[in-house]
Structure 1
Amino acid sequence: MSVWSDLVGQEPTVDTLSRAARDETAMTHAWLLTGPPGSGRSNAARAFAAALQCPRGGCGECRECRTALDGSHADVKVVATEGLSIGVRLARELVQEAALRPSVGRWRVIIVEDADRLTEQACNAVLKELEEPTPHTVWVLCAPSPEDVIITIRSRSRHVRLRTPPVAAVAELLQRRDGIEGPMALYAARAAQSHIGLARRLARDEGARIRRHGIVSMTVRIRGVGEAIQAAENLSAIADEEAAAASAERDVAERTHLLETLGADPTARTQPPHVRAQLGALERDQKGRAKRHVRDVIDRSLVDLASVYRDALVLRLGSDVELVNPDALDKVRALAGVFTAEQLLGHLDAIGEARERIEANVAPLLALEAMALRLRVPRDLGF
């Protein structure tokens, strides 16, 4: 068992990073890890940090490996934002930390799991450090693609690209690491389109499987304007409910902890000005996190929706490519039977445009309604 064991289907990446960890002549002060969602960018960054600290190059068993992987190593800083962006204040704090010498390990490692969310000012702050790097400090930036990071940072980083892992490899990981039975692991890996985190959730959460089934079924039920509007509302409501459920208990716990830290009375009807200011900042962070969660849930739903039209296009063209939704073959065949290849591509474009609009801060419900109106099926479709 090494630090690379959970990085499935990424042999070239593992070879590059493990060789750099063993040989300082192969090292550089900044790395950019890119790959599609679920490919394991964050896992690769943490594994690399562990290998850099490990005296055996990433054994996975020593204290250095364990603490680096779980984010508790004194010389490994992990930034994993749940908000909409990473601001300049945090970036400056990271630059200050990067200037320090390692305290217990060989390297000081700064991991930014969502480098694509750095604001322009934050990018400029990080760029200054990359232009004049501190010895024995390593930056590991993660993003979906090189284009998601400004060119000046790209040009000062060594790029390593991760790929989408094979379905079979993800299923094997779920069985080995999480104890998921073979058929369920294979279903989850295929339905998640090899996104490791989503596959794990689908395999373990019946509610997630039920919600996905409802989204897949939606493709053959949008027959008129009314159904389109209702489908958009359902997608938006699912995201709002999931975000509220995920954040409610956590928000209360964070507020209570902050009041205790400030020595304030949680039962008081009014708080002193300095406490109100801290509470206001916390509430803004929580709202940003909730908004990000809503967007992420909607985006995940749209990826599931697109997979059905993708499968229909595969059937329409007579390709032997493996289907994402073999369990919904009747719906896929129905769509392939009533739409041409060009029309199916139009449906995929509609979903892609909705994703882009929501990411560009268009109101999700408006973007979903515009999309759903373009996904209508004939009224006589047999469902």
Structure 2
Amino acid sequence: MRTGAPEVPATGVWAEVVGQPDAVGTLHAAADAARRQVRGEQVPPGAMTHAWLFTGPPGSGRSIAARAFAAALECEDPATAGCGKCTACRTVLHGTHADVKLVVPEGLSISVAEMRALVQAAARRPSTGQWRVVLIEDSDRLTEGAANALLKAVEEPPPRTVFLLCAPSDHPEDVSVTIRSRCRVLQLRTPLSGAIAEVLRERDDIEPQLAEWAAEVCGGHIGRARRLATDELARERRESVLRIPLGLQRFADVFTAASGLVKLAETEAVTANEDRNESEREELKTAMGAGGTGKGTASATRGANAALKELEKRQKSRATRSQRDALDLALVDLAGFYRDVLVTRTGSQAVLNHPDFARASAKAAAEWTSESTLRRLEAVLECRTALTQNVKPLIAVEAMLATLFTG
């Protein structure tokens, strides 16, 4: 549905917001109204608001759109909002702007203590830019206490402060009704495969055929498309997951496949965080005076050990989240396979989620009934739910694979 917002050329900070012309038009118009508001000009009511909620399916670019909007609000170019070239735009996009606070939860939730500190910082006036911006990625991870702390700030916003929240949807399970009611909701859509392939070709210099394939199988997730196009191991992991449905020939295969799937997620989590973890440890040791001699060394060492334990706790939480994210991505791929089986059985002309596995889904469609396929699909979705409720991954996956085997 068209919003009526003017279409904005995909240049400057808006170039990274793929396949969202309506959203870009709305954000650009709001940023322009914000600039006029700062200059003391009259702007139409509602043209710019102090709280925004960016929603959309995974991979739609919620946080990218929010960062682009934050950069446009701080942009120093008098001619346009979001030039992408000035110091303000570049520092916002790189996460180093003094007046833009990015909250990227690395653990399973955002604590109340973290949110209270953030709200206090948001109350200060901008130091270098025009606005103080608080951007919270994955705001659906707010604990109840953290959400209440944020609500107070959103209800009585400090002047020249903007809150940008990102969540999968505006459903009460993702964002509380009280917070949502005080935000302007901007819903993003799943980008079309053609737009994703164009980005891979033109900005990432991916070979056209590989770009087209990655865009077709990524499920509309831009980040995953880029990863599949550039990382051979990511392609291999996806293939190993999609071989599971037809690979369950004996009941013993259930346990082998479950162990392999969980280990695959663990390996991906370790790979994603290994370099960062080591870098953080070394930086902390240096900051705490590791290797020093002389007076006070013993007390400094005790302080360093305590700080290291706290760091290890955060890293463990980050690893747990990374593992669950990797496992959830594998489950999404499996759900897509069973969806393709149903599409094939019904003779629908709908586009397959995994066109490169069309032969496998056709074989399954010939062997399984629609009812058993639906039971398998429901088992995958139930496993995703179980993981969000802190069921041990191996137990949840084994229960799922038992149903995938029996149908």
Which bin holds the TM-score, normalised by the shorter protein? over 0.9
TM-score for both structures, normalised by structure 1: 0.95
1:230 partner amino acid: T
Q: Is the 8 A contact 1:39 1:163 kept in 2?
A: yes
Within a 5 Å distance, the mapping from 1:342-357 to structure 2 comes to: 342-357=371-386
Is 1:16 aligned to residue 37 of structure 2?
A: no
Question: Given the alignment of the two structures, is residue 100 of structure 1 paired with residue 129 of structure 2, yes or no?
Answer: no
List aligned pairs for 1:175-190, cutoff 5 A: 175-190=201-216
Residue in structure 1 matched with residue 65 of structure 2 by the alignment: 44
2: distance between equivalents of 1:2 and 1:208? 30
Q: Secondary structure at the match of 1:128?
A: helix
Q: In the alignment, which residue of structure 1 is the partner of 2:5? A: none
2:281 is matched with which residue: 228, 241, 255? 255
1:199 counterpart = 2:225: yes
Q: Superposed, which structure 2 residues align to 1:1-383 within 5 Å?
A: 1-24=11-34, 25=43, 26-54=47-75, 55=78, 56-147=80-171, 148-265=174-291, 272-376=301-405
Paired residue for 1:381? none
Give, in whole Å, the separation in 2 of the partners of 1:324 and 1:245: 27
Count of residues paired in the alignment: 378
Query: Cα 1:217–1:266, aligned 2, differ >3 Å: closer, same or farther?
Result: farther
Is the partner of 2:84 in helix, strand or coil? coil
* Contact residue 222 and residue 377 of structure 1 kept, 8 A: no
CA distance in 1, matches of 2:168, 2:271: 27
Q: Which amino acid aligns with 1:9?
A: G
Aligned partners of 1:305 and 1:269: how far apart in 2?
A: 54
Q: Give 1:269 deviation, angstroms.
A: 11
Superposed CA RMSD: 1.8
Aligned 8 A contact 2:217 2:355 in 1: no
Go from structure 1 to structure 2 and tell me whether the alpha carbon gap of 1:173 and 1:259 turns closer, same or farther (over 3 Å shift).
same
Distance, in Å, in 2 between the alignment partners of 1:347 and 1:157 is 39
2:405 is paired with a residue whose SS is coil
Contact 1:76 1:108 in 2 (8 A): yes
Q: Give ranges in structure 1 of 5+ residues lacking alignment.
A: 379-383
Contact 1:76 1:111 in 2 (8 A): yes
Of structures 1 and 2, the one with the larger relative CO (CA 8 A, separation 6+) is: 1
| Alpha-carbon separation, structure 2, partners of 1:80 and 1:60 | 22
Structure 1 residues 273-305: Cα deviation after superposition (integer angstroms, max 9, x where no partner): 433322221111011000001101101111111
5+ long unaligned stretches in structure 2: 1-10, 35-42
Question: Per-residue displacement from partner, 1:322-374 (whole Å, max 9, x unpaired)?
Answer: 11222212211011111222222221111111011011110000000000011
> Residues of 2 paired with 1:299 and 1:231: CA distance?
15
CA distance in 1, matches of 2:286, 2:88: 33
Structure 1 segments of 4+ aligned residues over 6 angstroms from their partners: 266-271
Taking the aligned partners of 2:17 and 2:386, their CA distance within structure 1 comes to: 32
Counterparts of 1:208 and 1:366, CA distance in 2: 25
Distance 1:70 1:249, change over 3 A: closer
> Which one-letter code corresponds to 2:13 in the other structure?
V
Aligned-residue offset at 1:224: 2.6
Query: What percent identity do the matched residue pairs reach?
Result: 50
Q: Distance in 2 between matches of 1:74 and 1:272?
A: 32
Paired residues of 1:34 and 1:142 also in contact (CA < 8 A) = yes
TM-score using structure 2 length = 0.89
